[in-house]
Homo-oligomer: A and B are copies of this chain.
Amino acid sequence: MIDFKKLREQNLAVTKKAVKSSLARDLLAIQAINCIEDIDKVSSILANRLREWYGYYNPEFTKSIHSNEKFSQLVVSMSRADLLKSLKLDEAHSMGADLEKKDLDAALELARNINDIYSFRKYLEHYLEKAMSDICPNTTAIVGPLLGAKLLSLAGSIKRLSELPSSTIQLLGAEKALFRHIRGLGKCPKHGVLVQHTLMEAAKMKDKGRVARALADKISIAAKVDYFKGNFVGDKLKAGLDARFKKK
């Protein structure tokens, strides 16, 4: 007779081992890129709060600077008088209220936290650069680590990315517009997240579709090479694209 209890235990052990070894490194890259997106959301929530809060103390400077990252750095590192001097304004004529030190400290503590979050974002970018050149060197050579990880995240894994036709890769991230088009509403999208690529940014409006198609084509080749661990061809693919689109 079969010993069902023992069979069950052995089965469990085998399954656990299979789960344990199923994690590929591309999943970690996907977590990292999703984390970067979370950080972008989070830092903008907190930076808006800081602008409102610190704006009581120094409204002129708050209005003058657009970048949230620079804003929270400068706020911590320089005094109000120096910041106003850099705008050629006089502290005596400022509309900012004079806060007590303990009140100002709370706002500056928020700025310090925001700075920490921004430097964590840099750390993650650096981590992704290294990880992506291990996981899919060819794809990364063409689109860079951040956009490459974004494509991985949209496809789900390097395996799935390598299986996608280049027309699907071209529209990754534009699913909403694509299905709206299929339902008969709106135009067909020409590109998804690929729009972030430097070649796309440089292209004229009427060329965007062509550039996106060519990019997706090369990415599809690169992803296949990456998944089946072929020789490195990323530089050649990239050089071909550059030669075709960069001089224009």
Partner of A38 from the list B28, B49, B124 (CB cut-off 8 Å) is B49
Question: In residues 100-124 of chain A, which contact B (Cβ within 8 Å)?
Answer: 102-103, 106-107, 109-110, 113, 116-117, 120, 123-124
- Measured between C-beta atoms, what is the minimum distance from A182 to chain B in Å? 31
In chain A between 1 and 60, which residues have their CB closer than 8 angstroms to a CB of chain B?
13, 16, 19-23, 25, 27-28, 31-32, 34-35, 38-39, 41-42, 45-46, 49, 52-53, 56
Smallest beta-carbon distance A43→chain B, Å: 9
How far is A131 from B107 in the complex, measured between Cα atoms in Å?
14
Q: How far is the CB of A2 from chain B (nearest CB, A)?
A: 23
Q: A157 near B: Cβ within 8 Å?
A: no
Residues of B within 8 A of A31 (CB): 49, 52-53, 56, 107
| Complex Cα gap A95–B102 (Å) | 49
Contact of A116 among B22, B35, B94, B113 (CB under 8 A): B113
Q: Which residues of B contact A97 (CB under 8 A)?
A: 20-23
Query: How many copies of the chain does the oligomer comprise?
Result: 2
Bound CA–CA A41/B45 (angstroms): 9
Given contact pairs A120-B113, A131-B103, A28 touches B56 in the complex (Cβ within 8 A):
yes
Q: Can you show 26 pairs from A to B with CB atoms below 8 A apart?
A: A16-B93, A19-B95, A20-B94, A20-B96, A23-B56, A23-B97, A23-B99, A27-B56, A28-B56, A28-B103, A31-B52, A31-B56, A31-B107, A32-B106, A34-B49, A35-B49, A35-B53, A35-B110, A38-B46, A38-B49, A39-B46, A41-B45, A106-B124, A113-B116, A113-B117, A113-B120
Known: A20-B94, A113-B120. 5 other contacts (CB 8 A): A23-B56, A28-B103, A31-B52, A31-B53, A116-B116
